[in-house]
């Protein structure tokens, strides 16, 4: 069994770099065959993961946050497109949000991540594919796509230098309420052909359960049920956003009249007025685009994780 360990050294304000000696010692102590490499530029983990499959590595480990995991998902899926097979994936979550890791049952932190990998608990998960005007060829994602308010929150959180983790998303959310966001008027169509037109604060297309390190956008989502769980929030006043935020933290927002839910294998979102800022697993896929579509690809990727959340 050969492990390719891909480290984003700047994840978690340098936590990726600091984690490397512990990972190196832990894998040595377990007697495992591994190669430990660092990313050098945005998108590098995609290349490294794809070449790891070509080079015959059995497991590719993402050391970083959701952006690093997303790049590795894309590298593994690109390899699968060309070769017909891919490597198993696991995660050591040391980034800002670690929501993909959470969704596959891996606790945050280098020690907990290594311990989970060594248990070798394997299962398959669904992978999403999203198409936007900026990514007409499509981009894969493991956790979710955020459109609207939560995308802008993510954009603001990344700008913060002194805060990391969930607190940075809380501050970014407050900033977004006051300064940045106007809800677009959108059309949503799911796989059953039903169409909804609504002024929407946000649309979260979830394979996992959580975004932003602590916002439970889809508390009942299952990573291998063959469907997205979609959370839709209609436009509300700024004051009402304040009262909704605790519900998203607790995962109780579905009890609120302004929040709607659907399960679907595919979805399209079109801005009839305004734009669609959007991210996939924290990676920007749209800033001023007008249309986003996504589909679920069942049982696409084997992971080593804990009990799936």
pLDDT at 144: 97
Same domain, residue pair 96 and 240: no
pLDDT at 154: 81
Reading the block at residue 291, the tokens are: 């249309």
Same domain, residue pair 73 and 148: no
Last residue of a domain, one of 74, 97, 120: 120
Phi and psi at residue 225, in whole multiples of 5°? Answer: -100, 5
Which residues, given as ranges, of the chain have pLDDT below 50? 309
Count of domains for the chain: 2
pLDDT at 175: 84
Same domain, residue pair 95 and 188: no
Separation of alpha carbons 151 and 201, rounded Å: 11
Separation of alpha carbons 289 and 133, rounded Å: 6
Half-sphere exposure in the Cβ direction for 246 (13 Å, CA): 4
Separation of alpha carbons 241 and 239, rounded Å: 5
Same domain, residue pair 95 and 152: no
CATH number at residue 138: 2.60.200.40
Residue 76, domain extent? 2-120
Same domain, residue pair 88 and 143: no
Same domain, residue pair 168 and 252: yes
The DSSP secondary-structure symbol of 107 reads P
- Whether residue 307 is contained in a domain is answered as no
Separation of alpha carbons 135 and 61, rounded Å: 25
Same domain, residue pair 44 and 161: no
**pLDDT tens-place string over residues 122-151:** 999 999 999 999 999 999 999 999 999 988
pLDDT at 308: 57
pLDDT at 286: 95
pLDDT at 146: 95
Same domain, residue pair 257 and 161: yes
Its pTM surpasses 0.85: yes
Q: End-to-end alpha-carbon separation of the chain, Å?
A: 27
pLDDT at 173: 85
Same domain, residue pair 113 and 207: no
- Whether residue 308 is contained in a domain is answered as no
- Whether residue 211 is contained in a domain is answered as yes
Same domain, residue pair 177 and 231: yes
Last residue of a domain, one of 120, 153, 172: 120
**pLDDT tens-place string over residues 81-107:** 999 999 999 999 999 889 999 999 999
Reading the block at residue 200, the tokens are: 């929407």
Same domain, residue pair 33 and 85: yes
pLDDT at 177: 86
Tokens 């959701």 correspond to 66
pLDDT at 113: 97
CATH number at residue 21: 3.40.50.10330
């Amino acid at each position: 069994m050969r492990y390719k360990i891909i480290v984003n050294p700047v994840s978690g304000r340098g936590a990726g770099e600091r984690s490397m000696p512990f990972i190196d010692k832990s894998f040595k102590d377990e007697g495992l065959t591994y190669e430990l490499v660092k990313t050098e530029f945005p998108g590098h983990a995609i290349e490294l993961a794809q070449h790891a499959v070509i080079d015959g590595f059995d497991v590719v480990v993402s050391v970083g946050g959701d952006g690093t995991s997303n790049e590795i998902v894309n590298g593994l899926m690109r390899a699968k497109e060309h070769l017909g097979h891919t490597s198993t994936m696991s995660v050591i979550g040391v980034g800002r949000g670690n929501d993909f890791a959470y969704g596959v049952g891996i606790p945050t932190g280098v020690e907990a991540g290594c311990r989970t990998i060594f248990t070798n608990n394997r299962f398959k998960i669904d992978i999403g594919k999203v198409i936007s005007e900026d990514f007409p060829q499509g981009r894969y994602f493991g956790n979710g796509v955020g459109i609207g308010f939560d995308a802008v929150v993510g954009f603001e959180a990344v700008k913060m230098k002194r805060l990391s983790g969930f607190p940075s998303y809380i501050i970014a959310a407050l900033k977004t309420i006051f300064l940045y966001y106007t809800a677009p008027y959108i059309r949503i169509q799911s796989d059953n052909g039903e169409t909804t037109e609504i002024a929407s604060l946000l649309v979260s297309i979830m394979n996992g359960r959580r975004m932003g390190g602590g916002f439970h956008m889809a508390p009942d989502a299952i990573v291998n049920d063959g469907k997205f769980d979609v959370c839709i929030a209609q436009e509300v006043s700024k004051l009402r956003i304040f009262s909704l935020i605790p519900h998203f933290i607790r995962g109780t927002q579905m009890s609120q009249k302004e929040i709607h839910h659907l399960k679907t294998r595919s979805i399209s979102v079109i801005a009839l007025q305004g734009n669609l800022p959007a991210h996939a697993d924290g990676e920007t896929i749209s800033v001023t685009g007008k249309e986003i579509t996504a589909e679920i690809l069942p049982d696409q990727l084997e992971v080593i994780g804990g009990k799936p959340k």
